[in-house]
Amino acid sequence: MKRAAYCAIALLLVLPSLIFSPAQAQVSVTMHHNDVGRTGQNLNETILNTSNVNVNQFGKLFACQVDGYVYAQPLYVAQVTISSTIHNVVYVATENDSVYAFDADNGAQLWHVNLGTPVPSTDISSTYKDLTPVIGITGTPVIDPVSSTIYLVAKTKNTSNNTYHQNLHALDITSGAEKPGSPVEITASVPGSGAGSSAGTIAFQPLYELNRPGLLLLNGAVYIAFGSHGDIGPYHGWVLGYNASTLAQLAVFNTTPNGSEAAVWQGGQGLVADADSIYFMTGNGTFDANTGGTDYGDSVVKLATSTGLSVSDYFTPDNQGSLNQTDADLGSGGPILLPGTSSIVGGGKDGILRLINTASMGEFNAAFNGDLQEFQATSGIIMIGPIYWNSPNHGAVLYLWGPGDYLKAFEFLNGSFQTTPVSKSTMTSPAGNSNAAGLSLSANGSTSGSGIVWASVSYSGDSNQQTVPGILRAFDATNLNTELWDSKQNAARDDVGNYAKFAPPTIANGKVYLATFSNRLLVYGLQPPAVLSVTSISPTSGRTTGGTKVTITGSGFQSGATVSFGGSAATNVTVLSATSITATTATLVNGYTYRRKK
């Protein structure tokens, strides 16, 4: 058989795992934890997988500078036309009351607006240290792609008269301009004799109330929830509804009109919804609903949107009194709605996960709890909700990572959770009240090899009332024993900086967007191919049929390298992964193998 010579010319060699498939429909992430059930899953990720998320192929691509801490989850909208050019756009809100739009693929700033002067943290109290140094936009906004609108709440101070305000803004996602009727100042009142009441009325206190949970867009209305700043008040929990088109207030609900406290904060987890109901969990506070009252401290509450946010059902654990006395908020974690079921699950500072039937929640019984199931899921506290995936090996799985504990996966089988984890990480997170990990999941449906759990967590120290370094970790979602990558493996390139507590990463179209307390949005993805300089290939000719073993020497060997040799192209050599060595494979060079094309 005729021998064909290897060309002493350029070789463009790419490992099979890096070859992109034809363009896929792009996904958008328009709300906290991806959907109104707050499952935290993006099931349309076709680029990142368990094979290519590793330190050689995956890492930080660029960073976008912003003007303050980022507590809100970054949001992403694909294919937005801005100044006659189509961009994939990532939206970032800061505590300095700024909103940014960046090109999600190259980091170019597309627009930036500032919505006012933020409130100095010391105005809450001279000893307040939870959210510093200023308070502006904290809750994750929500985006309506149909009307090209981003809705958010900005907390501001009028320094000329020392008054405080909270405004609901509706901004055009193509420019940052206010939509007609925007902004509208948030005011509310309900009849009641509770804390801070005057003449039988409880009024919304813009200084003491905090919009921490992510906003909800449901059936043409925007819903916003409020709690406290570190239990400083007087304060109450509030849920307010506004018309998404006109911003006219539609409904008001107060969690303790004749009592006190019962914040809705959920570690930032957004309000959960099904077709026409809203669900949330409250913190410590007055409870008397079991005796005909209207106060819902340490409760899971269901509001009917069709009747102006009236309570249609609730669940309160039998130890509510003890939870209230010890500040063990039931609602520190927030619920999620399990897909394909009528069940929600959530947990609080006691580390207990509670599974509740939305059709019959159980209300309160001093003798026993009427929920479907409850179990000790973590030795630490639960802040921010868990996440969900219908995995290929364990079916429906709930992921949770409490502070000072392991990342765990709990299988949901026949209507209840298996209380022994089916998988867990090999490492624990640092202990500390605010160190519950912000989790997100990316996968291509339930395809094997596609599921990744992404975790943003403290690297060291307790993030409660102080800033600490962070780390971003990626795990095989089918086996949490396998950490695929983390930002400390190549810290010079990938380091996070300061940890943004409770802020989950956003995964969209092959990139991961991470909030920080370092005044930056970080963007991670597959690394551009490196350059491999080839000095020799031996032999330079060989059999075409069956292939010929060759040895390639040079420098810069790494996965996905662009190989230069001589200056032009030879297409008769291809790259194989080290795991695909065969009789026709070339000599192994620095962990990579090559063979002559057949």
Predicted TM-score (pTM) of the model is 0.88
Domain extent listing, the chain = 4-19+530-596
Whole-number Cα distances in Å, 55 to 89, 487, 505, 509: 26, 9, 18, 19
**pLDDT single digits (tens) 271-326:** 999 999 999 999 999 999 999 999 999 999 999 999 999 999 999 999 999 999 99
The mean pLDDT values, 10 residues at a time, for the chain of 598 residues are 30 29 69 98 98 96 98 98 97 98 98 98 96 97 98 98 98 98 98 98 98 98 97 97 98 98 97 97 98 98 96 98 95 96 97 98 96 96 95 98 97 98 97 93 98 98 94 98 98 97 97 98 89 60 57 54 43 42 40 46
Beta pairing partners, 241: 223, 251
- Any idea what DSSP says for residue 516? B
In this predicted structure, what is the pLDDT of residue 590?
42
Residue with tokens 């209300």: 363
In this predicted structure, what is the pLDDT of residue 253?
98
Torsion of CA 462, 465, 467, 472, to 10 degrees: 50
Contacts of 434 (CB under 8 A, 6+ apart): 383, 403, 458, 462, 463, 464, 465, 501, 502
- Any idea what DSSP says for residue 283? -
Count of other CB atoms within 10 angstroms of residue 308: 12
Cα three-residue angle 410-389-283, rounded to 5 degrees: 65
**pLDDT single digits (tens) 511-540:** 999 999 999 999 999 998 655 555 666 666
Spell out where 443-555 has E strands: 452-458, 470-476, 483-486, 506-508, 511-515, 520-526, 531-538, 541-542, 551-555
Count of other CB atoms within 10 angstroms of residue 266: 32
Contacts of 136 (CB under 8 A, 6+ apart): 68, 93, 94, 95, 96, 97, 98, 115, 116, 118, 119, 154, 155, 156
In this predicted structure, what is the pLDDT of residue 553?
61
In this predicted structure, what is the pLDDT of residue 531?
56
Q: Could you check whether the bond before residue 191 is cis, i.e. omega within 30 degrees of 0?
A: no
Strands 438-442, 41-42: pairing is parallel
- 3-state SS class at 306: helix
In this predicted structure, what is the pLDDT of residue 455?
98
In this predicted structure, what is the pLDDT of residue 528?
84
What is the spatial distance between Cα 87 and Cα 506, in angstroms, rounded to a whole number? 17
| Among the listed residues 200, 285, 209, 268, the one whose alpha carbon sits nearest the alpha carbon of residue 240 | 209
In this predicted structure, what is the pLDDT of residue 433?
85
What is the spatial distance between Cα 110 and Cα 120, in angstroms, rounded to a whole number? 28
